[in-house]
Structure 1
Amino acid sequence: MAHASVASLMRTIESLLTFNSPMQSLTCDHREDFSALHEKISSLEVVVMNLEKNNVSGEMTDFEVEVKEVANIVEHTIQLRVTEVVLASDENLREKAHERLSDSLQQVAEDIDCIWKESTKIQDKGKQVSKESLVHDFSSSTDDILNVNNNMVGRDDQMKRLLEVLTTCYSGEPKVIPIVGMGGIGKTTLAKEVYNHGSILCRFDVRAWATVSQQHNVKEILLSLLQSMIKMYDTVKTKGEAELADMLQKSLKRKRYLIVLDDIWSCEVWDGVRRCFPTEDNGGNRILLTTRNDEVACYAGVENLSLRMSFMDQDESWSLFKSAAFSDEALPYEFETVGKQIADECHGLPLTIVVVAGLLKSKRAIDDWRSVAKDVKSFVTNDPDERCSHVLGLSYDHLTSDLKTCLLHFGIFPEDSEIPVKNLMRSWMAEGYLKLENDLEGRAEKCLQELVDRCLVLVCKKSLDGTKIRSCKVHDLIYDLCVREIQRENIFIMNDIVLDYSDSECDLPVCKKFNPLNA
C-alpha cells in the first residue's frame, strides 16, 4: 500500500538526520531542507494512514497510487544524489554533487507539496477518488511493435491455424502449443492477437499471461499469472513460491483455461511452472508458449501442434513497411520504388521492417530514403540475427543525441519489464538527459513519443482518454542493443550503481541507477 512507500521514505530521511549516522556529516549542509521535508512527509503519512484505514475494500485509490509512485521516486532521487556526494573524490566534485542534491531537494519538496494539496481537496470533499477510474486508466489494450493501427499485418494463415488448435477439443491433459521462431519475427504479436480474439474470450473461463525472458524468476512468473485471475493484495506478493503455486492451481481448478508463457528460454523454466497447472481431462485447457529455442518447443509441446513462424513474403513485408511508414497517406511513386527495395533488404523479419519504417516515418525527402536504402544494402550476411542487429543499430545511429541517451536508459531496467512512464521520465530528468527547457516534463513526453513513433519503444498502457502513455517497455532485441551500447560507451555497473567514466565527462561520475525501479 501507499503507506509502506511513505514509511520507507521516512526511514531514509531519518537515517540522514540521525546525529550518529555515518551519512550525517556528508549531508549536514542540507539538514534544514531534510528536516522540512521530513515534517511534510510526516503529515502526509498520517493522511495516508487514515485513508487506508477508511478504505474498506482494501484496494488502492488513484490518490494512493499517486502517493506511492511519488514516494518511491522521491526516495530514489534522494538516494541517487546522496550517492553522488559519497562518491565525490575531491572538493570540486563534492561541491557539484552538493549543488545537485540541493536542487533535487527543492524539486521533491514541490512534489510533496502537490500531493499534500491534493490530499486536502480529497479531505474537503469527504470522499476518495473511486477505484473504477484507475482500472480503466491502466487497462487499455497493449500496443505491439508489429501491429500497425491496431491491425496485425500478414500472418492470416498462421493465426487461423492457431485459433483452430486452441478451440478444438482434444482428450487428455492440457495441450501445450509452442510458437517457435527467431527474435523479432512476431511470435508475441501473434500470441497477443489470438489471446484477445473474440472466439478465445468466449471459449475460456480464465486467461493468464506471463512474460518469462532470459533472467527468469519463477515467483515473478506465478505472480504475473495470478494477477490475471485474482485481486492482488500486497500480502500475496510476500508469499513464497510454493504458496503461490498452490494459489494458482486452486484458481485454475475446474475451469477451462488458456495460459500464455511468452519468451521461454530453457526447459528448466517449463519444469518449474508446469506443476502449477491442473491436469484434469476436460479436453479444453491450453498452454501457449513462445520461444526461440527448438529444444524447449520439443520438450514442452506436442510436435503436431507446434507452430513455426516463417519470414514474411515480399508482399507482406511491403504491406507492413508501407503501413508503418505512411499510415493512411498517399504514397508517391518514387518513394514506393525505394521503399520496396528497403523492405526487401529486411528479408521478411517484421521487427527490422517496422524499425526502419519508423526511422523513415518523419523523413519526406527522397534522398534520405535512398541513403537509408544504401546503408541497409551495404551489410551483406546470411545470418538473420546479424542482419537484424545491423538494422537496429542503423536506426539507433539516426537518433538525435538526447533520444539516444533516453533510449539507452531502458537498459538499466530488468529485461522485458513494464516501466511506469512517471518513473522513466523522472529518471531522465534527474539524470539531466533532456535539454534545459521551461517544461521538462513536456519535453520528456515528446522524447518518449518520438521513440514510440520510431517503433523502438512499445506502449503497454494508456490513460482512459488515450492521450497519455502510462507504461512502456522495449522489445528484447532493442534491450540487447541498449545493453551493448551502454557497454561500448564505457558505462560500468558496480553494486547496482552504474557510473559513466567516459572521457568526455570525466569531471563528474554520473549515477545511472541506485536500485532497480519497480516496473
Structure 2
Amino acid sequence: MAALEALFGVCAEKLAALFQDEVAMILGVKEELGKLQRRMDRIDCALKDAGWRRTDKDAAATTNCWLSELQSILHEASDVFDDCRSEGGKLLDNELPFASSGLSILRRIRFISNFTSVLVRHKLANRIRALNNRIDEVGKDGSILNLEPVKPEGRAAPDTSSTHETCEIMEADVVGREIEDATDELVEMIVTNDRRNFHVTAVTGMGGIGKTTLGQKVYNNPRIGDHFQVKIWICVTQKYSDVRLLQEITRKAGGSHGSAERVSELLPILSQTLGGRSIFLVLDDVWRSNVWTDLLRNPLQNGAASGCVLVTTRDQNVAMRMGAKHIHQVEKMSVDSGWELLCKKTYLEEGEDAQSLRSVGVQIVNKCGGLPLAIKVIAGVLTTKEKSRKEWEKVLRSNAWSMSELPEEFRGALYLSYDDLSPHLKQCFLSFCLYPEDYELDRWELRRMWVAEGFVNQEEGSIMEELAEQYFS
C-alpha cells in the first residue's frame, strides 16, 4: 500500500509538471491531461481511505483487487507521461526554420515531419484517453466498495477516530537516568516560566522512542500539580474530530458541553469553562500543527489566565509551526537502561539467570536500536520462552526481526513512521529492498540511482545530487 502511494505521488508530480510544460501544448493533449489530473485528484482521496479499509479483514480482499488494478493504471500512466515528454521534446527540437534556398526540399521535410507529428499526437492522445476511461472504471469500483474521499490535510469524522489512545497514567516499568533528568529539566522550565504568558513546549523523536512516557512523567510530577489549577491529558492521533476534542477538553476541565455538537458552539463553552484558571494541557501524538493553531489556541488563550501546552510529536516541524519555545529531542535509550528495561519486562530478577543471559540480552537490546518500544515488544516474545541462553539465542537469530513476523502493535509503529514520509522519500526508502541484508551501500551510488529513477524532487537553483544527500538526514 505504501509503495502504491509513493508511485501515485510520483505520477501526480509528473502529470503536474507535464501539464504546465510547453510539451503538452505542442502535442495538443493539454485538455486530456487536464481531465486526467481531475480524475487522479479524486482517486487520491479514495486511495487514502483504501489504506484504512485494508486493516478491516472483511474488506481487505476486495480492496486489494481495487488497489492492484489502480497500480497497473499508474504504471501505464508513468510510461505515458515519460513518452509525452520525450516525443514532445523531439517535436520542439525538429522545428525547422524557413530559408530562401532549398525551399522545396524543406517543404517536403516539413510535410513528412508534420505527418509524423500528427500520428504521434494521435497515438498519445488515445493512450491518455484510454487512461481516463480506465480511471473512470476504477472510480466506479471505488464507489461500489464505499471508499470515501479523505481530505489530505482535513480532520477525520468522529466515527473514524483512532482506537489506540494514550492516557496520563504512567507505566510501572519506567527505567533509566536519562528520562529522570529530562523530566526534571522540563518541569523546572515549565514552572519557572512567566505565568502571565501561555507557552508551548514540545517533546519530539521517532516513533517508539519514549515521547509519551516522558510526557506522562512530566504530567504526573507533583510540582506541575502544585503550579497549575487544571491539568488535562489529550491524545490527538492522526485521525481526530474537532468536535470530540473540544468536548473532551471541556469535560476534563470540569465543564459540560450539553447538547453542543458544533465547533462554533463548543469554542465559547470551553473558554467559559476555564474561567481564568491556569492550565497545563498535554497534546500527545500530534501529527499536524492546526490542532493548536486553528482550533485550540484561541479558546485556551481567551479562557485561561495562563498555561502551558506540552506537545509530543514525531515531526519537529510540527512543533515549530505550533510556536514551541522549547523543543526537547528524546534520545535513544542507553544499553544499560535497555538491559534494565528488558529484565523488568521479562521478569528477570538479579541473580545467576540474569548474569548468564546478559551477553545475549545486550545483543538483543542493541538490535532494538535503543527504542524502548522495540525492547518491550521483543520482551513479550522472550516471556513465552524458557529463560535459557539457548532459547534467547534462537530469538536473536530468528526471523522475528522482520516486520511481518513482529506483533501487530510494533508493525503499526513502524508503518506509521514510514507512512508519514513524503512519496519521493518512500520511493528512496523502498530502494533499499533491492540489496541483500548487511550489504554495504555507497552513498554516492545511491544518490545517483535516486536521481536517475526520478525519486528526487527538483528545486530551482539546487543540484539534484545535493538534494539527494539531504534525504539521508
Category of TM-score, reference length = shorter chain: 0.3 to 0.5
Q: Which structure has the larger Rg?
A: 2
Greater share of helix: 2
**TM-score, normalising length: structure 2:** 0.48
**TM-score, normalising length: structure 1:** 0.44
